[in-house]
Structure 1
């Protein structure tokens, strides 16, 4: 049985709390969560990869869980978040790691790889391709499917909610605080994947989600969260408030400047092993131009492994077995991070192995 331990260390901005498991001599995988979640949402992955011989860690990012809760918007920028991940890496005593991200966590690990590829044995992003979310609203609007979202009616497409957060941060923060439990169930339910205009496309017109009325109270069974994770996510918001949740969306201009190719290593080109899992029933994929959504990633990542699952946004919890199997296949076949040399059976961090994909 895998024991997941809880730790906190003193980082530059304040305490960073993280979960860890597995042999400390194994190759390191760092998991980075998204909005509005916490490190615990990676539990199925922490358990799986610890069992496979990896040393795994997942931190609560700024404003979540037991980590530093800031009222400074800039503390939620990609530059600040990358610095936090580098401090975690140093605290764990490593020079480099595999970084796996989801949602905003994907934006963080892509930004980290763009600026510090020497710290990455590889990067794996769930649901968010390279050079999209980390570049802010202007970039995301360029990926909108204009057949579904005519520009005259939906100038910002499904990303209109991000503009609303930028323009009305205090109102959005209050709404989240008032309805967080319902919103959490709504955000983690199984999206039907149909190609239709999203509720996120009208917030600036209607004055917020559902015209600022209470969201529907969906049955808990519709969510992909179990009660333990759901309660922990809700407790995080109750303890920290919703400022941080909205603040991640308020750094678009700063994030775009930070990730300008002129400021990135190698002009933002990535030669390290990269993994992208497309969630085919997630509104981000369903509502985006299939070409524009991944265009820069395919152009700039020379070693990219792309896969697709029929799932919605919370893929790692909705389909944990499939997600873990695909990550394991990539780690074994495309990186130098597999912990066991299959020819000898010896635990040897850094050695690649030959693993039949049918065995995963």
Structure 2
């Protein structure tokens, strides 16, 4: 049996919000469910350690492969991956399951989704847990323009705006791509260095030049776990995942009338000490925009926090849930 079969509940699928969404579910169908939202380039499988721990603690857990990923449908047009569609999928999944409200927990891009959920669907969100990804107020100008000016034209999010090329580069050798990403942090925090164009976080250059034999970072996954990710992206490709990023400008344009604060919703922010892309400092402004917020940091963790430090993440989540949403 594969790691997916041995470490995850049985997959389920349903047509919701105009697409077929696949998800994994565990624990008793009682209380307020926790919906776990993965990031890039990940899967519901990224939450395997949390699914088990939460279910063992008597919590109802729902972990979807979000649209464009894994066993879920992969629309072929960029606008299908806007924030209204991504949050709408989650709410439609709640409708399908007969759930009024849920606690939404998101990592990486999933964090952006769950922080937008109470602004777009305030009546459906009981609580929010952000992992690595902070809540940020609406930018004063197009965020892609800000990133291009700050990090250069080859910064990965700016590069992702290019048609066709990013998914071709990422998909040329999926095993190499996933091994490049899924690593523990180096013992000493690494300051991103600019490439020839002056760009930092230039993943295209880094990936194409990368050699696993000289990478000081240790692999994060077992070969069996890595196979789950490689098979999923070999089958599904990277168009959908990259298209989430291609909606940054449209999402920004469409958010002009949304609230700028989150109030009346208990929130937990879990930062990671060694995350180079989303450092703990990025969460420091959050108390000014969230009325009910707790912030904690996972020491020694890089970006893939729920997989790098699962016991610590599980402990922090369960402590907060037991206090704010007791069974």
Q: Deviations over 1:276-311 (max 9, x none)?
A: 11111011244x8x3xx2355221101001001121
Q: 1:276 to 1:5 in 2, by over 3 A?
A: same
Q: Does the 8 Å contact 1:190/1:224 carry over to 2? A: yes
**1:277 equivalent in structure 2:** 270
Larger gyration radius, structure 1 or structure 2: 1
The answer to whether 1:164 aligns with 2:159 is: yes
For this pair of structures, how many residues does the alignment match? Answer: 319
Of 249, 263, 268, which residue of structure 1 is paired with 2:258?
A: 263
**CA–CA distance in structure 2, aligned partners of residues 187 and 220 of structure 1:** 13
The answer to whether 1:196 aligns with 2:196 is: no
Q: Deviations over 1:85-118 (max 9, x none)?
A: 0011111110001110000100111111222222
**1:302 equivalent in structure 2:** 291
Tell me the secondary structure at the aligned position of residue 307 of structure 1: strand
Of 291, 310, 322, which residue of structure 2 is paired with 1:332?
A: 322
**CA–CA distance in structure 2, aligned partners of residues 98 and 128 of structure 1:** 16
**1:177 equivalent in structure 2:** 171
**CA–CA distance in structure 1, aligned partners of residues 45 and 216 of structure 2:** 18
Instruction: Note the C-alpha offset of 1:135.
Output: 6.0
**2:44 equivalent in structure 1:** 39
**CA–CA distance in structure 2, aligned partners of residues 113 and 198 of structure 1:** 36
Instruction: Note the C-alpha offset of 1:257.
Output: 2.4
Q: Deviations over 1:217-267 (max 9, x none)?
A: 35899222233332121111111111112111111111112333x234xx4
Of 242, 246, 252, which residue of structure 1 is paired with 2:242?
A: 246
What are the residue-to-residue correspondences of 1:109-188 with 2, within 5 Å?
A: 109-131=114-136, 138-139=142-143, 155-156=150-151, 160-166=155-161, 168-188=162-182
**CA–CA distance in structure 2, aligned partners of residues 329 and 51 of structure 1:** 14
Give the TM-score normalised by the residue count of structure 1.
Answer: 0.79
| Superposed CA RMSD | 3.1
**CA–CA distance in structure 1, aligned partners of residues 201 and 60 of structure 2:** 47
**CA–CA distance in structure 1, aligned partners of residues 64 and 308 of structure 2:** 21
Tell me the secondary structure at the aligned position of residue 12 of structure 2: strand
Q: 1:121 to 1:84 in 2, by over 3 A?
A: same
Instruction: Note the C-alpha offset of 1:210.
Output: 2.3
Tell me the secondary structure at the aligned position of residue 284 of structure 1: coil
**CA–CA distance in structure 2, aligned partners of residues 47 and 129 of structure 1:** 25
Q: Deviations over 1:309-350 (max 9, x none)?
A: 1210100010000000011111122x2x222xxxxxxxxxxx
